[in-house]
Amino acid sequence: MARFLTRTALSAALSAALSTTALTAALLAPGVASAQMPAQYAQAPARPELPQLSLEAAASSDVAQDKVEVTLAKEIEGADQAQLSDQLNKVLASTLATAKRNTKVESRSGNYRVWANTDRNGKITGWRGRAELFLESKDFVAASTLAGELGQAMAVSNINFSLSREAREAEEQRLLQEAAKAFGVRATSAAQAFGFGSYAVKTLDLSGSGTVYSPRPMMMRAASADAKMAEALPLEAGKATVTVSVRGTVELLGTQQR
């Protein structure tokens, strides 16, 4: 009985082994493995490389400068350095205090310097000092009037016009729409010129060149210390050029026509 059971067990084991071998061979047979593989594991075909173009478009405009900066200066000479510095400090402090009362104009002290005058032998013969005060405003009338009032103490030495940050940002925002539209038109034209139907944007880079000022040079006569400048200064601003540029890379789509 034991002998019969042993043969029976061996027969069952052999049958199982043959079945496993057959199944393995079937799975490894050409065409069978791929047929049994789930669809999500199948490798997608490689996407062909599409031709690319690098393009650039820009939009610019001239905008009236809306900010003025007036520089007032005071120069004095003296034999004693300490006395000269004290006198210069009093003039600057008094003028700045008067300017601060005008809420439409921003005022602040500027460059300040005291230096020695020497003869040809290097000997100090006296002292000279210079102090500056800056007035800045978008209200040209207010700045002009204040500069005239302060002219008795400190003479106008320079006038500079510029475009304010708010005005520049507003203009750049408007120009951005024009630059983007110009970029699209150029990309479409380029795609059609090379026989493609359309394009897709790959990369974009936006830049603004800031402002290029067009200063209005002003010839000004030197004013003496006792000169009266009660009249308002005539101020007329120029224009500033604002530019927005768009650079990018596009892929050309569609079948190329030959």
- Please give the pLDDT value at position 207: 82
48: its two tokens:
């062909």
pLDDT averaged over the chain? 79
CA distances, 13 to each of 9, 154, 180 (Å): 6, 115, 77
Candidates 67, 68, 89, 87; CA nearest to 77 is 87
- Give the pairing of strands 124-137 and 239-253: unpaired
- Cβ atoms of residues 156 and 71 within 8 Å: yes
Closest C-alpha to 188, from 250, 244, 257, 255: 250
Name the residue with higher pLDDT: 176 or 29.
Answer: 176
What stretch of H or E contains 187? Answer: helix 165-193
Say if residue 62's pLDDT is above 90.
Answer: yes
d(CA 73, CA 110): 9
Q: pTM, whole model, 2 decimals?
A: 0.63
- In the chain the domains, ranked by start, together with CATH numbers, are 50-65+164-219+234-258 (3.30.110), 67-162 (3.30.70.360)
Count of alpha carbons within 13 angstroms of residue 109, beta-carbon side:
16
Strand ordering across the sheet containing 52-64: 52-64, 239-253, 198-214
Range scoring the smallest mean pLDDT among 42-46, 62-66, 84-88, 254-258: 42-46
**Which two three-digit tokens encode residue 84?**
């000269």
Of the pLDDT bands very low, low, confident and very high (cuts 50, 70, 90), residue 41 is: low
pLDDT band at 9 (very low <50, low <70, confident <90, very high): very low
Instruction: Give the pLDDT band (50/70/90) at residue 19.
Output: very low
CA distances from 156 to 7, 81, 185 (A): 122, 25, 51
Report pLDDT digits (tens) over 173-208.
999 999 999 999 999 999 999 899 899 999 999 887
CA angle centred on 180, ends 174 and 185, rounded to 5°: 130
- Does residue 12 sit in helix, strand or coil? helix
44-54 pLDDT, tens digit each: 566 667 889 89
CA distance 166 to 172: 10
- Encode pLDDT of 209-255 as tens digits: 544 444 444 433 333 334 444 566 677 788 999 999 999 999 999 86
* pLDDT score of 22: 44
Give the contacts of 163 (CB within 8 A, at least 6 positions apart): 63, 65, 66, 67, 211, 213, 240, 242
β-strand partners of 112:
131
Number of Cβ atoms within 10 Å of the Cβ of 166: 11
